[in-house]
């Protein structure tokens, strides 16, 4: 199972770099692919429960990273 999250941001590479350490410590597989104006996050899991947890976790981390960017 997999899910794709697409985040629009002015600096996708910086957001990806900020997320990478936290996301890689989780119990699911995540691919971060920054492009010109968005960050694509693909979450892979072997059950719907893990996939849902992965989506929720990634969204929380993205919100935190974007909030930190706005504070700077």
pLDDT digits (tens, 9 = 90+) for 40-49: 888 888 888 8
Contacts 24+ apart (CB under 8 A), 43-47: 43/2, 43/3, 43/4, 43/5, 44/1, 44/2, 45/1, 45/2, 46/1, 47/1
pLDDT in tens, 13-41: 888 887 777 776 666 678 888 888 898 88
Neighbours of 60 (CB within 10 A): 11
CATH assignment at residue 61: 3.30.310
Tally of domains in the chain? 1
The region of weakest confidence among 20-24, 53-57, 68-72 is 68-72
Q: Distance between CA 67 and CA 55 in Å, rounded?
A: 18
Residue 27 has a pLDDT of 62
pLDDT level of residue 72 (50, 70, 90 thresholds): low
Give the domain extent around 38. 2-71
């Amino acid at each position: 199972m997999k899910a794709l999250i697409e985040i629009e941001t002015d600096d996708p590479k910086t957001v990806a770099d900020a997320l990478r350490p936290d996301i890689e410590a989780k119990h699911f597989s995540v691919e971060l692919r920054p492009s010109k104006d968005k960050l694509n996050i693909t979450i892979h899991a072997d059950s719907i429960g893990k996939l849902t947890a992965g989506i929720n976790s990634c969204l929380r981390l993205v919100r935190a990273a974007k909030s930190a960017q706005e504070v700077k």
